[in-house]
């Protein structure tokens, strides 16, 4: 495992990390969740990602119990939570949604209990909230940091402009600024990480914990022969994702995945490993958060670390040619 600095902070995170979305408290039983955490930890993973909204808090409970049962030293791993939606993405209750001082504070307290920890290493604003002044959220995060309940805070899917505004508020009022962003990043989804945030990596020194590195499993290649039937797209409540795994655009993506599969074979690796290694090749990725519902998936994916060296400039150019997804750089003027 390689350990990378989270942006310009002093915190080092494993380049491959492990998250609980869809799986914990939903798709898999608690024993499997525990086995997955142990596999990840034994493979060098030190960062476990979670959120209030994952299985309405149950994902945090399952992760908290597993971490406690496994008895890992608290200083040997990092754990996160995220605030925005409340218990479900469809929640509209006025006081349990958004980034108000109240919701940010209450979700932190609840996450600490569910995860059975005294502090969150990372605490993310899961989306921007247009109805809360950014300075209010920055101040609430700063208070949690000063109280020792949170060590670093960040954003998820905020625009570069919103992140810059949070930094401006922090400078103006002497508060802690966000140090990390959690964006989607994979071979089919590149612009935000490669273009929009490009000016934030050097100054102020943004770190990234990227999500869905395998595009929800599409880049594992297992959908090439049709729906395998035992994956997340068959789960109740995941109909929206299943719809994305159908139709013309999906067929087009499958052709690309099939070609990438040939390239992976030529390089002596596998599609999931290639997809993850490709993310890690980007030095602005602090950590790629893996998802996995089965232990064999994690065991395979952890080997991706060794495959980064296979991705020479020539191989990267071939991947770009096959995928055709390289975004245009930002115009200079
Ligand atoms: P991926 O894109 O890597 O998808 C993971 C899924 O792909 C697995 O659960 C499994 O699905 C399948 N898979 C993984 N490896 C293999 C393999 N070797 N062979 C076959 N299938 C495989 O990541 P996720 O979409 O799960 O996202 C990762 C994490 O990112 C989440 O857990 C969460 O922590 C975070 N996240 C954050 C978001 C945000 O808004 N901030 C949004 C989404 C995720 P299956 O069970 O179907 O087999």
DSSP characters for 15-33? SEEEE-TTIIIIIS-HHHH
Position 228 in a domain: no
Distance 8 CA to ligand 1 centre (A): 27
Atom index in ligand 1 nearest the CA of residue 273 equals: 18
- 325 belongs to a structural domain: no
| Residue 241 placed within a domain | no
Residue 177 lies in a domain: yes
Q: Which residues are catalytic?
A: 54
What's the pTM value of the predicted model, to 2 decimals? 0.98
Residue 171 lies in a domain: yes
**Residue nearest atom 18 in ligand 1 by C-alpha distance:** 297
216 CB under 6 A from ligand 1?
A: yes
Ligand 1 within 6 A of CB of 183: no
Looking at residue 11, which CATH number applies to its domain?
3.20.20.100
Q: Which domain holds residue 297?
A: 3-220+276-311
Q: Is the CB of 156 under 6 A from ligand 1?
A: yes
* Whole-number CA gyration radius for the chain: 19
Q: Given this model, what pLDDT does residue 246 score?
A: 94
Return d(Cα 193, Cα 183) in angstroms, integer.
Answer: 7
Residues 169/141, Cβ–Cβ less than 8 Å = no
- Residue spans of beta strands (DSSP E) within the chain: 3-5, 12-14, 16-19, 47-49, 78-83, 120-125, 150-155, 180-181, 207-210, 287-290
Q: Please give the distance, rounded to the nearest whole angstrom, from the Cα atom of residue 276 to the centre of ligand 1.
A: 11
Name the residue with tokens 């979670």. Answer: 50
Residues of the chain with pLDDT under 50: none
Q: How does pLDDT run across 109-137, given as a tens digit for each residue?
A: 999 999 999 999 999 999 999 999 999 99
Q: Indicate whether residue 272 lines ligand 1 (CB < 6 A).
A: yes
Please, what is the angle between helix 313-323 and helix 247-267, to 10°?
A: 160
d(CA 212, ligand 1 centre) in Å: 5
Instruction: Using the mean position of ligand 1's atoms as its centre, give its distance from the Cα of residue 186 in Å.
Output: 11
Cβ atoms of 48 and 18 within 8 Å: the answer is yes
52 lines ligand 1 (CB under 6 A): no
Cβ distance 19 to 214 under 8 Å? Answer: no
CA 292–ligand 1 middle distance (angstroms) = 6
Q: Is residue 264 part of a domain?
A: no
List the beta bridge partners of residue 120: 150
Counting the structural domains of the chain, the total is 1
* Both structure tokens of 263: 């390239």
Q: What is the pLDDT of residue 331?
A: 76
Q: Is 270 in the pocket of ligand 1 (CB under 6 A)?
A: no
65 contacts 113 by C-beta, under 8 angstroms: no
In short, whether 155's Cβ falls inside 6 Å of ligand 1 is: no
Pocket test residue of 271, 297, 299 for ligand 1, highest count of atoms within 8 A of CB? 297
Whether cis (ω within 30° of 0) applies to the bond prior to 204 is yes
Note whether residue 152 is domain-resident: yes
Rounded-to-integer distance, Cα 301 and Cα 294, Å: 11
Residue in 272, 260, 269, 271 with CA at minimum distance from that of residue 307: 269
Whether 317 is covered by a domain: the verdict is: no
Written as six digits, the tokens of 143 are: 């208070």
CA-proximal residue: ligand 1, atom 42 (nearest): 211
């Amino acid at each position: 495992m390689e350990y990378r600095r989270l942006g310009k902070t002093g915190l080092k995170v494993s380049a491959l990390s492990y998250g609980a979305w869809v799986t914990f408290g939903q798709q898999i039983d608690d024993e499997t969740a525990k086995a997955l955490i142990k596999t990840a930890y034994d493979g060098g993973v030190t960062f476990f990602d979670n959120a209030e909204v994952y299985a309405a808090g149950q994902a945090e409970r399952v992760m908290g119990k597993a971490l406690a049962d496994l008895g890992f030293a608290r200083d040997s791993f990092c754990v996160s939570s995220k605030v925005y939606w409340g218990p479900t993405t469809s929640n509209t209750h006025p006081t349990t949604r958004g980034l108000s001082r109240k919701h940010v504070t209450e979700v932190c307290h609840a996450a600490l209990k569910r995860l059975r920890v005294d502090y969150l290493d990372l605490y993310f604003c899961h989306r921007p909230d247009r109805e809360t002044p950014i300075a209010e959220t920055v101040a609430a995060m700063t208070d949690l940091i000063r109280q020792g309940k949170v060590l670093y805070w960040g954003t998820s899917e905020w625009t570069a402009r919103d992140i810059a505004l949070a930094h401006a508020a922090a400078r103006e009022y002497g508060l802690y600024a966000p140090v990390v962003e959690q964006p989607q990043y994979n071979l089919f989804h590149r612009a935000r990480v490669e273009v929009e945030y490009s000016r934030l990596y050097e100054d102020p020194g943004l770190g990234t914990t990227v999500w869905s590195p395998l595009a929800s499993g599409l880049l594992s290649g297992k959908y090439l022969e049709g729906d395998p039937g035992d994956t997340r797209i068959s789960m109740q409540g995941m109909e929206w994702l299943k719809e994305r795994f159908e139709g013309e655009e999906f067929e087009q993506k499958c052709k690309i995945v099939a070609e990438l599969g040939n390239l992976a074979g030529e390089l002596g690796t596998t599609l999931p490993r290639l997809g993850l290694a490709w993310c890690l090749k980007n030095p602005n990725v602090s950590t790629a958060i893996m998802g996995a519902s089965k232990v064999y998936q994690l065991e395979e994916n952890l080997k991706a670390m060794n495959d980064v060296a296979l991705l020479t400039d020539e191989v990267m150019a071939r991947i770009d040619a096959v995928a055709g997804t390289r975004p245009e750089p930002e115009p200079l003027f």
